[in-house]
Structure 1
Amino acid sequence: MTTALLELRGVDKRFGGLHVTRSVSFALAAGDRMALIGPNGAGKTTLVNQISGVLQPDAGAIHLLGEDVTRLPQAKRVRRGLARTFQITTLAPHFPVQRQVELALLEREGLTGRAWRCVDAYAGVRAEALELLSRFGLREHAATPTQDLAYGEQRLVEMALALALRPRVLLLDEPMAGVPKGDGGRLLTALESLPRDLAVLIIEHDMDLVFRFATRIVVLAEGAVLADGDPETIRRDPQVRAAYLGH
């Protein structure tokens, strides 16, 4: 039996009288490529916020690498192997791309408190940062402030920062949001090049990307799991077509 890297058990969340996630359960193993889809208001971002620690569920449990992390804060979940990108970019606009990646690497190694040493002293950090930028086609922008990059390139920087943490589980919240159609192919290429042993959960409204990238799709409707299966099963499911994909 494959060991789950991330497992949700009956995750439930209410805001007053609004029941946003309803006893959601599923698991991800190493190498999984899961898409979480559903209409606006289905509870997708609320669910990811609970997984990442932004919100705590009212009921249920979240397990990461076999450990119950339901009540752990975000930072501790990151240290245990969980990384996330957001629907809206959260990059430092005036900071060069390479420096942002280097700082993420220093944070991972627990070296950010050593302010008396220059980042340039860490040859390994610099080399790894440049390797990550090369992987995402960003090497030529190493010295560029992120505000001067195209929006699609900024999303690639976010992915590089997430991978700098060496996560076991990666949450991607609408990576195509705001990205011009012409840049979509580059982002999909980056997604397809992610480490094969990484478990990936993606929220995305671009169905072309979902059906090209995901090997498994979970459909949320009114906060509950409506369907869970491979892309072809989801494409043919009459309930999914009625609720989200269209007849």
Structure 2
Amino acid sequence: MKRARVAYNGAIHDAEVREDRVILADGRCLREEQVVWLPPVEPQTTFALAINYADHAKELAFKAPEKPLAFLKGPGTFVGHRAVTRRPADAAFMHYECELAVVIGRTGRNVSAADAYDYVAGYTVANDYAIRNYLQNYYRPNLRTKNRDGCTVLGPWIVDAADVPDPMALDIRTYVNGEQVQAGNTRDMVFGVPALIEYLSSFMTLSPGDVILTGTPDGIVDVKPGDVVETEVAGVGRLRNTVVDDTTYFGAA
């Protein structure tokens, strides 16, 4: 099942997505463009992984990490499918990061890798934009890099865990203005989903609604205002976002 959160007629609705239709809980059937897409989960604690694909580490001229390089993201970073994301005027290089996002469904502490999937509610797609000239160092991005308002697109929906037989064998692709610019597969993660859940739960409790962004493969390019970016994880979804400049984002003075 594909579960979404949308706004329609001034209210927020839980919805189910069937083919190209959005079905509200009260049975109303709407087209995709009739609703405002919200992040499909209201993230509690959000963990993001730096350099969790060896090819991306090589692309950035770094060694693959020996332990997961995790950091936290605030709730204000998230926007939904079809939303816009601002490219600040002082950004020298801003790029997408297509990622498989794992949504936690059960409280867990000291979860073993063997049991990790029992704690997953489902999966969604993230596009976690980064601005390279904001980075302080290679794995601890400062707040401006990864906690800017609206810098992370999440959605369009959550696919139930039972409908994703093997989350470690999913193709990842990104398109800018219809041209494919990134390709990878979740099997190439340095630390897979079970290992990440085991690691994170070893020192803190995971709770329902927590989200783990599992990193991105290589293939990053600079995006400009006006670019339409689509990030796709096979079997999960395809997420659309438009990059805008400061004037468009804030409105003319």
Question: TM-score normalised to the size of structure 2?
Answer: 0.24
Q: Which has the higher helix share?
A: 1
- Looking at CA atoms only, which structure, 1 or 2, has the larger radius of gyration? 1
Which structure shows the bigger proportion of residues in strand conformation?
Answer: 2
